[in-house]
Structure formats: structure tokens, C-alpha cells
């Protein structure tokens, strides 16, 4: 069993850069459907912890719920933590992530206190703090 996996979008990239011991399968600007189509075949191993950051780049037409649900079904982990999309910019996607996390009894992490001026991404120090806090999961 591998220690940890950071998967998803640019937020996962940033967290993964601060957790070099983890496997990172993430791409800046990627939507949930594109992540599923390009990378879901790579999550067939079990991990102690998986951190998922997806939904932030999704629009109403990207079928966020369906793809995130299918991604989550493939994940094998002792613990899963979902990074919640921005409440102000992506409330629909945030609600979808909460619903899926609840169904699978996963944890969620609200990173609002670490978000920088763009309203989406944490600051450099924010990424460090988030990465450190995930070591305790």
C-alpha cells in the first residue's frame, strides 16, 4: 500500500508540491470529466490517504456529479479527503463534493482561510499549511 495520493486540479498540484513523498496525479485547469478520461486508469492501487481536489474548473455542462462519483468509486484508500471548491465562485460544485463525500463517509477540507486574491487558489504559505495538516489525517 502506498502512503498518499494527491489527485485533481491545480490545487492538488500545489498541495502535492508540498508533499513530495506522495504520488501526485494532477493537472492545472483540468475539469472532473477530463481528469476521469485521462487519469482514472492510474488509480488502481491502494493508498493510506487520497486527497481529491476536483470541481473547481467545472461548469454546469461538465456533469460534475457523475464523474466525481465514478472517480470516487475507483479510489482504494484507508482515508479520503476532498478539498471543497470555493463557496462563492463554485457553490454548486461544492455542494456536489459534499454530497459525494458524505455518501462515502469521507472527510472534507474547507481551504477558504488560505485562499489568495483570485478567490480559488491558496497562497504559497497556504499550500504549505494545508499539506502539513493532511499529514495528520
Residues with Cβ within 8 Å of residue 74, at least 6 apart in sequence:
40, 43, 44
CATH match of 2-134 with 3.10.129.10: no
pLDDT, residue 63, reads 86
What secondary structure does DSSP assign to 72-107, as a single string?
HHH-EEEEEEEEPPPTTT-HHHHHHHHHHHHHTT-E
Kindly indicate the confidence band of residue 62, based on its pLDDT and cuts at 50, 70 and 90: low
pLDDT at 105 over 90: yes
pLDDT, residue 60, reads 76
Contact between 13 and 35 (Cβ < 8 Å): no
Q: Which residue has the higher pLDDT, 57 or 1?
A: 57
**For the chain, domain boundaries:** 2-134
Contact between 91 and 99 (Cβ < 8 Å): no
pLDDT at 113 over 70: yes
The answer to whether the Cα torsion of 121, 118, 61, 29 is positive or negative is negative
User: Could you give the percent of the chain with pLDDT greater than 70?
Assistant: 96
Cα–Cα dist 29/78, whole Å: 28
pTM summary value: 0.94
Q: State residue 93 phi and psi, 5-degree precision.
A: -65, -35
pLDDT at 65 over 80: yes
For 17-60, write each residue's pLDDT tens digit: 999 999 999 999 999 999 999 999 999 899 999 999 999 999 87
Average pLDDT of the residues of the chain: 94
Amino acid at each position: 500500500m502506498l502512503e498518499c495520493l494527491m489527485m485533481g486540479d491545480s490545487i492538488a498540484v500545489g498541495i502535492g508540491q508540498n508533499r513530495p513523498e506522495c504520488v501526485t496525479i494532477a493537472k492545472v485547469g483540468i475539469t472532473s470529466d477530463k481528469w476521469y478520461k485521462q487519469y482514472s486508469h492510474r488509480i488502481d492501487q491502494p493508498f493510506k490517504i487520497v486527497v481529491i481536489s476536483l470541481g473547481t474548473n467545472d461548469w454546469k455542462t461538465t456533469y460534475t456529479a457523475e464523474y466525481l462519483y465514478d472517480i470516487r468509486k475507483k479510489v482504494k484508500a484507508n482515508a479520503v479527503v476532498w478539498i471543497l471548491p470555493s463557496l462563492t465562485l463554485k457553490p454548486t460544485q461544492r455542494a456536489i463534493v459534499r454530497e459525494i463525500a458524505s455518501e462515502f463517509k469521507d472527510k472534507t477540507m474547507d481551504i477558504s482561510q488560505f485562499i489568495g486574491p483570485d478567490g480559488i487558489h491558496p497562497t504559497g504559505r497556504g499550500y504549505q499549511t494545508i499539506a502539513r495538516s493532511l499529514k495528520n489525517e
